[in-house]
Chains A and B, each alone.
Chain A
Amino acid sequence: MGEQGNYRPPRRQEENGQASLLALEAALGTARQALGPDEELDGDDARIRQPSDAPKGKPGDARAELPGEAGAGQPGGVRVAQPEVGGDRPGADRAKPPWPAVLATTVRLWLRRRWAALGKLFRHRWAIVVAVLAVAALVVGGLPVSSLRHPGTGSAAGQQAARAGPLTGPAGQNAAATTAGHAAAVWVARQVSRGAMVACDPSMCHVLEAQGLPAGNLLVLRSRTTGLRFCNVIVATQTVRNLLGSRILGQSAPAVIAGFGSGGARIDVRAVAPDGAAAYRAALAADWAARRKAAAELMKSPRIHAGDAAMQELRTGMVDSRVLITLAALAASHPVNVMAFGDTAPGAAAGVPLREMEISGAPGPAQRTAELRRMRSFVLAQRAVFLPAHVTLVRLADGAAALRIEFGAPSPLGLLVGRPVTQ
């Protein structure tokens, strides 16, 4: 039950497509001004406004710099002035009415009114000056404000957050971090298997949810990391690296299946190893050996044809086991031409299998499309791990039709050697 406390409550998905991108950018950039009260209280999202996170030491500085609060005449300064005015109400001295005193009081009050009028004018101008200065501070100090909005700093506690690179990094680094965050979120939303559990920091989880990942599939990493072993993937932002440390991260999620950005802005998408790095490496090695062996048999099939590059990828065990099994299953009923294997995983570590293939069917153009449609129907009727994430009829550069089949990440290990498969 302890883990359940870390899960975000389900929310209705209201945005997708372009709207999701806007939500993502909002979360990375301007979302802090739009956060609702409940979201502000959402763990580390609220912590972003704590003094330790602010570029200056004063509590509230960061909040005061947010657009919409500084230049809009927020009541803070006025409220400070009001007690002064209220505290000097005329008539406070009526308890002693002697004429000299009354006269003196009248003169004093007249002077004070004049002074109050001047003071009021001054105060208004002062407020304007404050507003102008605040706007100027936002413009000049845009860097620290935008760095606060960076997801990599969103949930780091105290000093950990302060150590995060983007907090003090140059503007270019922040832009790079934002770009990397955006790219990572889009990649995870498209490439990670739908049923997979994804661990992420609060900001990144927010963004992933906006990208369409079900809230129930997100494990929000805060101060505790319990539940990580039940995840399939972790999005390792700077915040997550600060939270877990490189040793635990390397032990819990040793394989980088995609990477975005560089330096402090680097975001790695890693496959979680529930039994530790050594067990994962052993399973990966066994899977690689099984892939090579299975692919060698596949290459003997008279119903499967492939070009030199694809053959080399088969031979060297680079092709995902689900692709191999699907290829074998298709070849039982259809002749299959493998146009290419591939993967859209930038920055993936060596040895991460290729999860995509482009295939064509019968050689005659008239039959080819119909054949591809039959193959697509067959593939789309598969279940569980054998159901691809995307199946698309595409037109190749030479005008020929092909079927692109993409399986989700991360690649499951052990399927070829009889790992139990639940549909």
Chain B
Amino acid sequence: MRLRALMALVPLSLAVVLMGAAPAAVAQDTGWIRWGNWSPSAPDFDIYLKSFGGSGNATVIKHVRYGDVSSYTAIPMGQYTIAMRDAGAAPTSPPMLSASVQVAPGTAYTIVSMGPASHLGVQVLKETMRSSPDKALVRVVQESVQQHRVTVNNGSRTLGGPLRLGSYTG
């Protein structure tokens, strides 16, 4: 299994994500989730995931910095609230960013902050995890706040685009 974010390119801040096979040993009622901070001018975040059903404690990831992308974590299927707070803020304080994600079994998601500090956003990317045995999947996410549209080329071949902020190749 080889799942990791390669980098966030500067100044384009294009997040290029390599995706191999699906995570191993996927339980029937489990999905996969990872998170990142792709907002160049945003502060460090603490990210909270809390189940709608209230079961268990919230999943908390502390001090997520710009450019960070975590590895995948298994998580029970279901609906979750996502709250991103300034690093060190009280868990009961109002979040800076809110969103929700429905985790389906066997499916992987990437949750990231995006945009400039004045227009922060949350994005949930549902990842495509299956490829041919001898190939890897590459997804390019346009998270640049300086370039309005970006086209992704491999030599003379256009892989995707023009991509706006928050959009990505298939």
List residues of A whose CB falls within 8 A of some B CB: 290, 293-294, 297-298, 300-304, 321, 324-325, 328-329, 331-333, 377-378, 381-383, 386, 415-423
Contacts of A421 in B (CB 8 A): 97-99, 121-123
Min distance, Cβ A417 to any Cβ of chain B, angstroms? 5
**Nearest CB to that of A415 among chain B residues?**
B100
24 contacts between A and B (CB under 8 A): A293-B79, A294-B52, A297-B51, A297-B53, A297-B79, A298-B52, A298-B53, A300-B55, A303-B54, A304-B54, A325-B98, A325-B100, A332-B50, A332-B81, A378-B92, A378-B94, A381-B94, A383-B96, A418-B109, A419-B124, A420-B123, A421-B98, A421-B123, A423-B122
Q: Is the CB of A332 within 8 A of B96?
A: no
**Nearest CB to that of A381 among chain B residues?**
B94
CA gap between A329 and B124 in the complex, in Å: 18
- The residue from A294, A302, A333, A383 contacting B102, defined by CB atoms under 8 A apart: A294
Q: Is the CB of A415 within 8 A of B50?
A: no
Known: A294-B52, A421-B122. 14 other contacts (CB 8 A): A293-B102, A297-B78, A301-B53, A303-B54, A328-B81, A329-B95, A329-B98, A331-B54, A378-B94, A415-B99, A418-B99, A420-B122, A421-B99, A422-B121
Min distance, Cβ A243 to any Cβ of chain B, angstroms? 31
- The residue from B58, B83, B95, B102 contacting A418, defined by CB atoms under 8 A apart: B102
CA gap between A417 and B80 in the complex, in Å: 10
Q: Is the CB of A423 within 8 A of B119?
A: yes
**Residue in A383, A386, A422 whose Cβ sees the most chain B Cβ within 10 Å:** A422
Known: A328-B50, A328-B52, A418-B126. A383 touches B100 (CB 8 A): no
Min distance, Cβ B169 to any Cβ of chain A, angstroms? 16
B9 on the A face (CB < 8 A): no
Contacts of B96 in A (CB 8 A): 383, 423
**Nearest CB to that of B55 among chain A residues?**
A300
Contacts of A324 in B (CB 8 A): 52
- The residue from B97, B101, B115 contacting A383, defined by CB atoms under 8 A apart: B97
- DSSP class of B's interface residues: helix, strand, loop or mixed? strand
CA gap between A418 and B81 in the complex, in Å: 10
Contacts of A298 in B (CB 8 A): 52-53, 79
CA gap between A325 and B94 in the complex, in Å: 13
B85-98 Cβ-contact flags toward A at 8 Å (1 or 0): 00000011011111
Q: Is the CB of B54 within 8 A of A382?
A: no
Contacts of A381 in B (CB 8 A): 94
CA gap between A108 and B91 in the complex, in Å: 105
CA gap between A232 and B115 in the complex, in Å: 23
Q: Is the CB of A297 within 8 A of B99?
A: no
Contacts of B91 in A (CB 8 A): 333
Q: Is the CB of A423 within 8 A of B120?
A: yes
CA gap between A294 and B50 in the complex, in Å: 13
Contacts of A378 in B (CB 8 A): 92, 94
Q: Is the CB of A382 within 8 A of B51?
A: no
Contacts of A304 in B (CB 8 A): 54
B36 on the A face (CB < 8 A): no
Min distance, Cβ B154 to any Cβ of chain A, angstroms? 26
CA gap between A333 and B91 in the complex, in Å: 9
Q: Is the CB of A416 within 8 A of B81?
A: no
Contacts of A297 in B (CB 8 A): 51-53, 78-79
Contacts of A293 in B (CB 8 A): 79, 102
**Nearest CB to that of B94 among chain A residues?**
A381
B67 on the A face (CB < 8 A): no
Contacts of A325 in B (CB 8 A): 81, 98, 100
- The residue from A302, A382, A416, A420 contacting B94, defined by CB atoms under 8 A apart: A382
Known: A329-B83, A378-B94. A418 touches B101 (CB 8 A): yes
Q: Is the CB of B81 within 8 A of A422?
A: no
Q: Is the CB of A423 within 8 A of B81?
A: no
Q: Is the CB of B166 within 8 A of A420?
A: yes
Min distance, Cβ A403 to any Cβ of chain B, angstroms? 15
